[in-house]
Amino acid sequence: MQSAFSLSFSQSSLTLPNRPLCSPNAAPRNLRFCGLRREAFGFSPPKQLNSCRFQVKNRRIESFDYDLVIIGAGVGGHGAALHAVEKGLKTAIIEGDVVGGTCVNRGCVPSKALLAVSGRMRELQNEHHMKSFGLQVSAAGYDRQGVADHASNLATKIRNNLTNSMKALGVDILTGFGSVLGPQKVKYGKDNVITAKDIIIATGSVPFVPKGIEVDGKTVITSDHALKLESVPDWIAIVGSGYIGLEFSDVYTALGSEVTFIEALDQLMPGFDPEISKLAQRVLINPRKIDYHTGVFASKITPAKDGRPVMIELIDAKTKEHKDTLEVDAALIATGRAPFTNGLGLENINVATQRGFIPVDERMRVIDGNGKLVPNLYCIGDANGKLMLAHAASAQGISVVEQVTGRDHVLNHLSIPAACFTHPEISMVGLTEPQAREKAEKEGFKVSIAKTSFKANTKALAENEGEGLAKMIYRPDNGEILGVHIFGLHAADLIHEASNAIALGTRIQDIKLAVHAHPTLSEVVDELFKAAKVESPASTTPQSVKAAV
């Protein structure tokens, strides 16, 4: 890491004098250091950097306090800050709450800790599964506080890593609530005003609670409360069957709760490829202690009080007629997330939010009320609502830094993978089958589907986890991958071969010749590539060209 870093440092110092003409191949290599993985940097001595920053300062014509100020130290802001330092920018990050934002403190990170527990509980409780290994386990039990501590300890650890990595690199962490005062001017805390050449808004989101629902934090809760695992109710209703709801259903049922899903759309897991959601329902919902109501809104939810359980009024999603009243022990509101953009001072620069989201163009440049770009102002992550995922925010942040350091960059959102960490996991990148078919119809190309099963994979069978499906949607004429969807063991880790291929434009006829270690789960994806029937021949590989020359 150390050597890799000094290398990039020397590059940036070399290219600084003519920054706008920054060599295009200098940057992509560094992209791999995005997101949380940069914690490893925490140990790099900051000395070199300071000298670098000094250089930059001397060469600057205009005088700003910072080259870049980021409002919000979540995963998006963190990714942007680290990349900015790497690019030689003097960077500050403003945080009004805790470093790490939703992902680290109230989202992906603690939920993964709970899911790690639920996965093990599930295995230990599955007598049949254990027996098939020849293992004998007496009753599996758990200590709720111990589970909760695991989640909060993990969040603390990752938060510290994040903080240290930024401090070590010389990012100034400014504490206080940040807002935009005007062009290139930001206020934080009570009345600290700083100027910056460029500003990134990365304020993220908060759980969305529809009206009529009274959240008391005890029996009617959001993911923020649920992650603390202060109780494991006997029966919990989960409003919304997207990623968040699904993951919590996995946790709660593994810990012994019964779950009732309430979904406004006509089917569960509406965001997934239909075939995947059908299979997921068969594996993640039907055999578990879960039932569901679809096509209904929870119009009113009252917390448990005065000896009454939690009451949930259901109305038909279309006709709005009363349909049912549920009585449960708790309700988790997982209806999505709302952007956290209030009090940002957007009125100072004439920006109007749309349902709370800050409008941006494909380069994350903020668009004002007149449809014009606001100079030097960017918005990344959940606050712009393009793709509400931690790693998407980080990628957007890196894309912005690329732009402000002179390299035009447009992030291909279709190459950003997404994952749901149930047991087994669900992952996807690109288009779903219906989306692809719609696009194909419009643009006049053919679409083909390739599928492989985890049942045919040695490693999956060795783990007794043959349940699963991988599916690829592609163009048979040129071998372009349009989308890949995986449901099965470690699906979240398997998707990256496909997402990288999409990001780099690798075609199936080329990637199918790449070799995978045997026996590994990655062969499921390998089989997908090999199962595809592409009309165009493989291109000559760059290596062989080089060898020939």
In the complex, least distance from residue 492 CB atom to other proteins, rounded to whole angstroms: 21
Q: Where are the beta strands (DSSP E) in 208-295?
A: 220-222, 235-239, 258-263, 290-294
Q: Which stretch binds other proteins (CB under 8 A): 120-128, 162-170, 196-204, 263-271?
A: 120-128
Binding residues for FAD: 112, 178, 203-205, 382, 388-391
| 531 lines the binding site for other proteins (CB under 8 A) | yes
Indicate whether 449 belongs to the interface with other proteins (CB under 8 A): yes
Which residue lies nearer to other proteins by CB, 162 or 290? 290
Nearest approach in angstroms of CB 443 to other proteins is: 21
Any contact of residue 469 with other proteins (CB under 8 A)? Answer: yes
For residue 441, state whether it binds other proteins (rule: CB under 8 A).
no
Bridge pairing between strands 235-239 and 258-263: parallel
Q: Could you give the CA distance from residue 12 to residue 380 in angstroms, rounded to a whole number?
A: 24
Tell me if 329 contacts other proteins by CB under 8 A.
yes
DSSP helix/strand/coil, 37? helix
Give me 540's structure tokens: 């000559």
Q: 518 catalytic, yes or no?
A: yes
Q: Which stretch binds other proteins (CB under 8 A): 33-41, 134-142, 332-340, 348-356?
A: 134-142
**Which range in 191-199, 238-246, 305-313, 335-343 contacts other proteins by CB under 8 A?**
305-313
If binding is defined by CB under 8 A, does position 327 make contact with other proteins? yes
CA distance 303 to 399: 44
- How many Å separate Cα 496 from the centre of its chain? 13
Q: For the CB of residue 174, give the shortest distance to other proteins in the complex, in Å.
A: 39
By rule CB under 8 A, what string of x and - marks binding of each residue 191-230 to other proteins? Answer: ---------------------------xx-----------
Q: Would you put residue 459 in left (φ > 0), alpha (ψ -120 to 50) or beta?
A: alpha
H/E element holding 453? strand 448-453
Structure tokens at 41: 């940097």
> Considering the rule CB under 8 A, would residue 258 count as an interface residue with other proteins?
yes
Name the pairing type of β-strands 290-294 and 296-302: unpaired
- Bridge partners (DSSP) of residue 514 are none
Residue 143 within binding range of other proteins, rule CB under 8 A: yes
- Beta strand spans in 202-348 (E): 205-207, 220-222, 235-239, 258-263, 290-294, 296-302, 310-316, 322-328, 330-333, 337-339
By beta-carbon proximity to other proteins, the closer residue of 309 and 479 is 309
Q: How far apart are CA 275 and CA 426, in angstroms?
A: 12
| Partners of 263 in the β-ladder | 294
Residue 328 amino acid letter: V
In the complex, the smallest distance separating the C-beta of residue 279 from other proteins, rounded to whole angstroms, is: 8
Site pattern 261..290 for other proteins (x: CB under 8 A): --------------x------x---x--xx
Q: Which of 9, 41, 64, 235 binds other proteins (CB under 8 A)?
A: 235
Q: Does 331 bind other proteins (CB under 8 A)?
A: no
Q: Is 361 in the site for other proteins (CB under 8 A)?
A: no
Please tell me which residue in 225, 322, 496, 518 is annotated as part of the active site: 518
β-pair partners for 429: 484
Pick the piece of the chain touching other proteins (CB under 8 A) from 154-162, 251-259, 476-484, 496-504: 251-259
Give the Cα separation of 457 and 324 in Å (integer). 45
Residues at the annotated binding site for NAD(+)?
Answer: 240-247, 263, 336
Given a contact cutoff of 8 angstroms between Cβ atoms, the answer to whether 290 and 249 are in contact is: yes
Site for other proteins (CB under 8 A): which residue of 233, 359, 385, 476?
233
Q: What angle do CA 185, 189, 192 make, to 5 degrees?
A: 45
| Listed ranges 170-178, 364-372, 375-383, 447-455: which one lies at the site for other proteins (CB under 8 A) | 447-455
Residue 543, helix vs strand vs coil: helix
Map residue 170 onto helix, strand or coil: coil
Cα–Cα distance for residue pair 469/277, rounded to 1 Å: 11
Which of 2, 18, 234, 347 is the binder for other proteins (CB under 8 A)?
A: 234
List of residues contacting other proteins (CB under 8 A)? 121, 125, 127, 139-145, 218-219, 231-235, 255-256, 258-260, 275, 282, 286, 289-291, 304, 307-309, 325-327, 329-330, 449-451, 453, 455-456, 467, 469, 531
Give the residue numbers marked as catalytic: 518
